[in-house]
A and B are shown apart, each in its own frame.
Chain A
Amino acid sequence: MLHEILIQFWPALMYGVAGAIIFSLIGMVSGTDETATMVPLTLMVIIIGAPPAAVFTFWMAGAVSKHMTHAIPTALLGIPGDTMATPMLEEADLLRKLGIPHIALKKMISSSIISAFIAVVAAVGFALVLAPFGDIITKFAPWIFLVAAILIAYFSKGKWASVLLLIPFVTFILALKAFNGQYDTSLGVTFFLAIAIGPLIADLFTVMSPSGRKAQARDKYNEVQVAPDLKLWQGYFPNPFKILNKTQIKFTAITSLISSATFVFSPVAMTVILGEFVGSRIKNTYHRLTTVLSSKNGVTESTYIAEALIPLIAFGLPLSPVAAGPAAPLFNAPPVFNVETAEVAGNNLHHLLSPMDFLFYGLLSVILAAIIAYPFSMNYARNAALFVVRKISHEAIIATFIGLILVISIWEGGLVGVFTVLGLGLLGGLLSKHFSFNTGCQFMGYYVAVLSIPAII
C-alpha cells in the first residue's frame, strides 16, 4: 500500500501544485464559474494520461485554492469570484460599508483552510460508513438519481415549479442526445459546459436584439470601490487560528462537519442555510458579520470536498451536485473513465484509488492549497484585485469563455457539438435566470435523462 502511494506521489504532487496555482489565479477573476473552468482543465489532465492520484490531486487542490482566492473579488470589490461566492455578497457588502473588507477577506480564507482539513477527514469517515451500502445503492442508482433530482429541485428557489420543470428539461436533453446520435456523435463534457455557461449564452441572445439591449443598457461604467488594506501579522505565513477568534473557529468546525454529512444538497444552499444558522446565534452586528462570513466560506470548501469525496469513495457514481457538475470528469471522462451503467462496468477514480489514497491525496491537496493560495491571498489580495479590475476587461473574459465552449464542443462533436451547446446553453440560461431552475437542478436533470430514463421507461 505504501509502495502504491509512493509510485503516484510525485506526479500527484506536480499536478497538485499546478492545480493550486492555476485555480488560485482563476479564482481571482470574477464570474469564473467552477464547472466551466474545472471540467475542461480536469478533462485535459485525464486525457493526457495523468495517473489517477494526480488527476484527483489536481482537481482537489484546484477546488480548495479557487474557494480561497474567490474571496478576494467578493470581499474587496463586491463582485462574486464564482458561483459559490454569491451567498456571501450581502455580508461582504456590509463589512465594506464599515470600511473593513480586508478583515472580511482574512477571516474568510483562514476559515477555508481549517474547514478544508476537517472536511477531508470527515468525508472519508462518512464515506466509509456509507460504503457497505455501495452495491445496493449502485443497483438502485437510476431511482436514486431521480429522487435526488426531485429533492434538489424542490430545495431550489423554484420549489415545485423546479420539480415540474425537470420534465421538459429532461425531454430536451433526450432530444439533444437523439440529435447527437443521428449524426453518430457522442457528447458528454459539452452538456456540462453548456449548463454552466448557460447564463452567459442567455444574456448574449438577450442583448443581441435591440429591445433586449435597451433593457440591459447602462449609462456609466461599473463603479468599483477598492478599500485600503491592513496587515495584522508578521512574516509571510499568517496563522489562521490567530486570525479567527474562538467563536469563529468553533462555528467553522461545526459547519464543516454538518456540510460534509449533507453531501447530497446544493453547496450554495448549504452555504446559505448554515450562514443563517450561525447568524442566529450571534447578536452583535460586527461579530455576527465576521463570523457568518468566515463560516460561509468554510462551507464552500467543505461542501465541495465532501460532495466529491463521498461519492468517489463510497459509490463511484456522481450522487451529489458537485459530483454531477464540477467533478464530473472524475467519474465520467470517455474514453478514460466511465460510470457504471446497466451495460458497462464502471471504471473511474472510485475503482482506481482506495479510501486511504483519497485520504492521503486529499490532505496533500489541502496542504498544497494552504502553501500556495493561502499566503498569496492574505498578502497580495488588494494588489491582485486592483490588477484584475484595471487590466482584465469583461469583454476579454467573455471572449475567453466563448472560445472555450467552441473549442470543447467542436473537439467533442464538431458542428453537432456547437448546435448542442448553443441550444442547451440558451435553454438552461433562461431557466436559471427566469424560472429559478438553477444549474444544480440542471446537472441532476442531465443524469436523470442519461441514467434514470433508460432504466425506467
Chain B
Amino acid sequence: MNTNMERSNDHLVEVWGDTVDFRSMLLAIVIGSVVSTGTFLLAKFFLSSLSGDTTLLNGYAMLIGLGGCLLSGFICAVMFKPARTVISSQEDNSENVKAFIVDLIKDDPNYTSVDDLPSEVKKELDLLQLMTVFQEAEVIAKKKP
C-alpha cells in the first residue's frame, strides 16, 4: 500500500482535520507557494505586454494562477502519498452489529420496535438484511437487566 521508504511514523501531525507527515507538508507548502505564485506572476508578466483592459488581463492571469494551484496540488499528490490506511470492512459483521444495536436500544429510553415501523421502512430493513438483526437485538436488550 504505502511503500514510501523515507516515511516513518515519527513525524506525523494532525493539521486541518487530517494526518500529514510534517516534513512532507513543509515541502508541499513550498511547492504550492512557488508553483502557484510563479505561474501567476509569469502569466501576469506575459499578459501585461498585450494591449487591452488591464483588469481583464489581470483576471486571466489569476485564472492561470489558479491553474498553477491545481498543478502544484497535482505535483504534491504524486510526490506525497496519503498518510491514511484504508480498512475494508469485514464480510460478516452481523454479530458486532447486533451487539452495537443492543447498546443503542438500551441507551434510548424512547426506542420503539422495528415491528411497529411503517411497512415501507420494514421493506428497507429487509433489503439491507437488518430486519432479523434488529429483531434479535431487541429480544436480547429486553432480557438483559
Listed in ascending order, the chain A residues whose CB lies under 8 Å from chain B are: 30-31, 40-41, 44, 47-49, 79-80, 94, 97-100, 103, 199-200, 203-204, 207, 213, 216-228, 230, 232, 245-247, 283-287, 335, 386, 389-404, 406-408, 410-411
Contact = CB atoms under 8 A, between A and B. Distances in A.
Nearest to A410: B37
B111 interface: yes
B89 interface: yes
Given A393-B83, A400-B72, A222 B18 contact: yes
Contacts of A213: 13, 22
Contacts of A221: 2, 9, 12, 19, 83-85
A283 B117 CA distance: 10
A203 B76 CA distance: 20
Contacts of B101: 98, 285
B130 A98 contact: yes
Contact of B82 (A44, A217, A391, A411): A391
A396 B12 contact: no
Interface of B: 2, 9, 12-22, 24-25, 28-29, 31-33, 35-37, 40-41, 55-56, 58-63, 65-66, 68-70, 72-77, 80-89, 93, 97, 100-101, 104-105, 108, 110-114, 116-118, 120-121, 124-125, 127-128, 130, 134
Which of A218, A224, A226, A403: most chain B Cβ within 10 A? A403
B87 A225 contact: yes
A395 B76 contact: yes
Given A216-B14, A408-B62, 20 more contacts: A44-B66, A47-B59, A97-B100, A213-B22, A217-B12, A222-B83, A224-B87, A228-B88, A230-B128, A284-B116, A391-B77, A395-B21, A395-B25, A399-B31, A399-B32, A402-B32, A403-B32, A403-B68, A410-B40, A411-B62
A394 B113 contact: no
Contact of A286 (B32, B114, B127): B114
Contacts of B80: 393, 395-396
A398 B29 contact: yes
Contacts of B66: 40-41, 44, 404, 407
Nearest to A218: B12
Contacts of B120: 245-246
Nearest to B125: A286
B76 A393 contact: yes
Nearest to B97: A99
B105 A403 contact: no
A221 B84 CA distance: 5
B68 to A, nearest CB: 7
A222 B124 CA distance: 33
A400 B127 CA distance: 42
A223 B84 contact: yes
Nearest to A242: B120
Contacts of B65: 407, 411
Nearest to B30: A399
Contact of A411 (B13, B15, B40): B40
Nearest to A247: B118
B70 A245 contact: no
Which 3 pairs show the lowest CB-CB distances between chains A and B?
A: A403-B36, A399-B32, A47-B59
Contacts, number: 229
A427 B56 CA distance: 33
A391 B86 CA distance: 11
Nearest to B100: A97
A401 B130 CA distance: 42
Contacts of A400: 32, 69-70, 72-73, 76
A453 to B, nearest CB: 28
A399 B62 contact: no
A394 B75 CA distance: 13
B52 to A, nearest CB: 12
A132 to B, nearest CB: 36
Given A213-B22, A399-B29, A203 B128 contact: no
Given A284-B111, A400-B72, A407-B62, A394 B16 contact: yes
A93 to B, nearest CB: 11
B69 to A, nearest CB: 4
Given A395-B20, A407-B62, A222 B13 contact: no
B13 A207 contact: yes
A245 B125 CA distance: 12
A30 B108 CA distance: 32
B115 to A, nearest CB: 10
Given A216-B13, A411-B62, A403 B87 contact: no
A386 B84 CA distance: 11
A343 B121 CA distance: 59
Contacts of B85: 220-224
A407 B127 CA distance: 51
A217 B19 CA distance: 9
A44 B64 CA distance: 10
9 contacts: A47-B56, A220-B9, A220-B12, A225-B86, A284-B116, A285-B101, A400-B70, A406-B36, A407-B66
A196 to B, nearest CB: 12
Nearest to B112: A283
